[in-house]
Chain A
Amino acid sequence: MSGPAPESSAVLRAEGIWKSFGEHEVLRGVSVSLAPHEVVALIGASGSGKSTLLRCLGLLEPIDDGQIWLGDLDISDPRVDGNRVRARLGAVFQSYNLFPHLSVLDNVTLASRVVHRMPRAQAEARARELLARVGLADFASSHPDRLSGGQQQRAAIVRAIATDPEVLLLDEITSALDPELVGEVLELVRALAAEGTTILMATHEMAFARDVADRVVFLDDGVIVEEGASASVFGAPQHPRTQAFLARFSG
């Protein structure tokens, strides 16, 4: 039962995703795709299904219908080993979700060592290099709860990229941060985007989405009502729901 092969060269592609929690249908036939090195922003009101979509794409939540491809592999096929798929993806969450019992360095190297079987010395060298890049070199041996929110989120991003994921899924990563800390986290994402990382991000930072994303997808009540180049969606939204949503945002 292999579905139609993806005709595009998309890194990650989803077709007609349905998902409900009990009686509540959260996603109603959503399709998105990410080209290599593309940065796509998911925008929409709280509860519109952004987080659920990211979780479904990351195989963190089973879907009720639809199909997802990572490269040429149909990852929605139940015969696929989900752990190996998730090992190829990176995810960052709203509330960081760092492991409080591990030092920052161990948080970052855990997957490299345990999943990818990288020797500890090599994993740590790489982790220190990444931590230094995001200004956390001095915190490598600290435990996460000792860090500020912005520092924790930067550490969480480093943890996600330490294994060189094919796609980075960012789920409202700045929602728990104050404006100053938001800046330092977004700078990091901006740098990753500039380096060519493929990113799908759910965000409420409209200015950031407009500046960094190549494409914007507007999700409303589990359906994509509008999508396109960020300049055109933000500059001249077509759908009345998008217009209403973006009306309060004037950047």
Chain B
Amino acid sequence: MISQISRHAPSGLELERRAFRRGRERRSVLVAIASSLVFAAIIWATVINTPGWAGVQQAFFDPAIAVQSLPKIWDGFLINLQVLGFSLVTVSVVALVIAVLRTVRGPVFFPLRVLAAAYTDLFRGLPFIIVLYLIGFGVPTIMNTRIPVVVLGVVAITLTYSSYVAEVLRAGIEAVHPSQRLAARALGLGYVQTLRRVVLPQAVRKVTPPLMNDFISMQKDVGLISILGAIDAIAAARSSASLSYNFTPYVVAGILFILLAIPTIRLTDWYTARLREREQQGSIL
């Protein structure tokens, strides 16, 4: 085909238009940079000149105490990561099962649907801290044994977060247009095959941003296992804060959690943008 070889040389008018667009882009980039700098300078000046800033700096941002407390907080943070890793797997599985149970049709499944609905109602309504107390202190008491805090934490997080994630997944499943099920069933795919191959992949894409919200919120809530007596990042921060009468260790732990969240956020932004690019052609106005 000739068209593959010949590259059209743009006309003078088109070159002019491109130059105009580039100029406009350049100008908006410059405006953005300038306004960011001005904004940053204003914030900086305001913070520095606020009365009591020196006290705040000393109590919250003491570099020496930060360095000193970091190793212990880091060790504790690894426990948080452990709980997070396990919970990620269990929440995914449990939430998926509940979401699917919520969407199965047919009168036979009525009790299952009701149970699944009741579960999501209950655990979305119940404050996480109550779940944590009941599981963390209640279960070992009834069973009269010592259960590792990591296990208790994973169970509590799974119970609560599965209910949120299940509802998000259900919303995604229901947002897939019925014609997609129709097309899959027409190819001879069964109910489960249709769900797994056609409906769920599209559903997950639709709800990736809210799923990420839940994931990030879970990353933070693993810090609550410190109230069960685990020496996690927050508990470690608390002990060094009380030793030094300084709040810097909390800030250090906080920064670790923020650093944990940022890659996840950026990664999903990048991934969803890539999927969009692959599946859609043409400009979006």
Contact = CB atoms under 8 A, between A and B. Distances in A.
Interface of A: 1, 3, 16, 18, 20-21, 23-25, 28-29, 55, 60-62, 64-67, 76-79, 82, 221-222
6 contacts: A1-B16, A3-B13, A21-B281, A25-B4, A28-B8, A66-B14
B142 interface: no
Nearest to A21: B281
Given A25-B6, A78-B24, 7 more contacts: A29-B8, A55-B282, A64-B10, A64-B14, A65-B10, A65-B11, A221-B3
B17 interface: yes
B8 A65 contact: yes
Contacts of B8: 18, 20, 25, 28-29, 64-65
B49 interface: no
Bin the interface of chain B by size.
10 to 19
A30 to B, nearest CB: 12
A109 to B, nearest CB: 21
A222 B3 contact: yes
B285 A79 contact: no
Contacts of B6: 25
A98 B20 CA distance: 36
B3 A28 contact: yes
A76 B13 CA distance: 10
B14 A78 contact: no
Nearest to B177: A100
B13 A1 contact: yes
Contacts of A55: 282
B176 to A, nearest CB: 13
Interface string B1-28: 1011010101101101100110010000
Interface in B21-40: 21, 24
Contacts of A79: 20
Contacts of A1: 13, 16-17, 20
A82 B3 CA distance: 29
Nearest to A51: B282
Contacts of A28: 3, 8
B1 to A, nearest CB: 7
Interface in B70-107: none
A245 B70 CA distance: 76
Nearest to B179: A145
Contacts of B13: 1, 3, 65, 67
A78 B22 CA distance: 11
Contact of B20 (A18, A23, A78): A78
Nearest to B285: A60
Contact of B3 (A3, A16, A25, A78): A25
B283 interface: yes
A25 B4 CA distance: 7
Given A18-B8, A64-B10, A77 B17 contact: yes
Contact of B11 (A16, A61, A221): A16
Contacts of B14: 64-66
A85 B1 CA distance: 35
Nearest to B12: A1
A78 B283 contact: no
A135 B22 CA distance: 50
Interface in B193-211: none
B283 A62 contact: yes
A16 B12 CA distance: 13
Given A66-B14, A67-B13, A79-B20, A61 B283 contact: yes
